[in-house]
Amino acid sequence: MRATVIAVIGLTISGQVMAADLRRPAPAPSHVEPQSEWTGFYFGASVGYGWNHAAVTDSFSAPGIGSLGPDTHLGENLDGAVWGGQIGYNWQFGSIVVGLEADFNGSRQLFDKPDVCDVAGTVVPGCIVYPKDVIRWFGTARGRAGFTVDRLLVYVTGGAAWQNLGSSGRVEITGVNTWDIFNTSTTRFGYSIGAGVERIVLGKWSVGAEYLFLDTGTKTTANVALPASLAGTLGAPPGTSVYETHRLSDQIVRLRVNFRP
């Protein structure tokens, strides 16, 4: 009899507890803010390789005569390592990321190959010209826009670009002499476009790869007079000068590492 009473009391208490639980409202689901992993300031470094095709044209003229003949055309490939740093800011809206970035880079993109002396379409026997052209540095200021897949960002980019080209020319005639014709440095302004991928790793760090195409127009070395002794040796009229242009287009591939403080 006592056991029966205890069992009834237990069932009654359990029923009351269950009824109280049923009357109690279920807890509201917690609201989780969407993650915005890419929003914010970042800075980093890059290293890569560049190849720059320069279409070079030389024309020769003399006072009172004008052009001495057809232009001389030469294609130069300036290839070499590039390295630098970047700084930027991103805004993330769901899976869409937009941002602004600026970078500055050193370069060893170099052309340094001797060639025969071609003066107005005539090859001069025993004469060698030593042209040297190097992209010393370049920089860009670009916008970026892309989308995220998990922690991967795929983007396109475009904006302004600057390039510094150093050029020098030396002429040597075997058994006669060597002449330095010019040594110039020019900074050109143009545009850049490209695309890249970047992935977040190790918390605030990200790594990626990027391709850029730069076009900074035509660099001109205007009316550089040939030394009188060289002009005389070549049989050119006194005061002969050379007018040289470089048409520049550059392609860059690079690996990047960024940190978001």
How far from the centroid of its chain's Cα atoms is residue 116's Cα?
34
Confidence at 75, pLDDT banded by 50, 70, 90: confident
Structurally, the chain folds into a number of domains equal to 1
Tokens of 79: 């290839």
pLDDT band at 151 (very low <50, low <70, confident <90, very high): very high
For 206-247, what is each residue's pLDDT tens digit? Answer: 999 999 999 998 888 777 888 888 888 887 888 888 888 888
Kindly state the percentage of the chain with pLDDT values over 90: 45
Which residues pair with residue 20 across a beta bridge? none
Task: Report the predicted TM-score, pTM, of the whole model to 2 decimal places.
Answer: 0.78
2 is a domain residue? no
Instruction: Please state, in angstroms and rounded to a whole number, the distance separating the CA atoms of residues 196 and 166.
Output: 29
Give pLDDT, residue 97: 97
Structural tokens at position 192: 């850049």
Q: Is residue 203 part of a domain?
A: yes
CA distances from 209 to 33, 71, 80, 116, 219 (A): 30, 41, 18, 40, 30
pLDDT grade for 183, boundaries at 50, 70 and 90: confident
Gap between the Cα atoms of 132 and 215, Å rounded? 20
Residue 72 lies in a domain: yes
* CA atoms of 111 and 164, how far apart (whole Å): 14
What is the residue range of 61's domain?
39-259
**In the structure, what pLDDT confidence band is assigned to residue 255 with cuts at 50, 70 and 90?**
very high
pLDDT in tens, 81-97: 999 999 999 999 999 99
Residue 248 located in a structural domain: yes
Does any domain span residue 16?
no
pLDDT digits (tens, 9 = 90+) for 103-142: 999 999 999 888 887 776 778 888 888 888 899 999 999 9
pLDDT of residue 25: 55
Q: Does residue 195 belong to any structural domain of this protein?
A: yes
pLDDT given at position 220: 82
Predicted local distance difference test score (pLDDT) of residue 182: 82
CATH number of the domain to which 162 belongs: 2.40.160
pLDDT at 36: 64
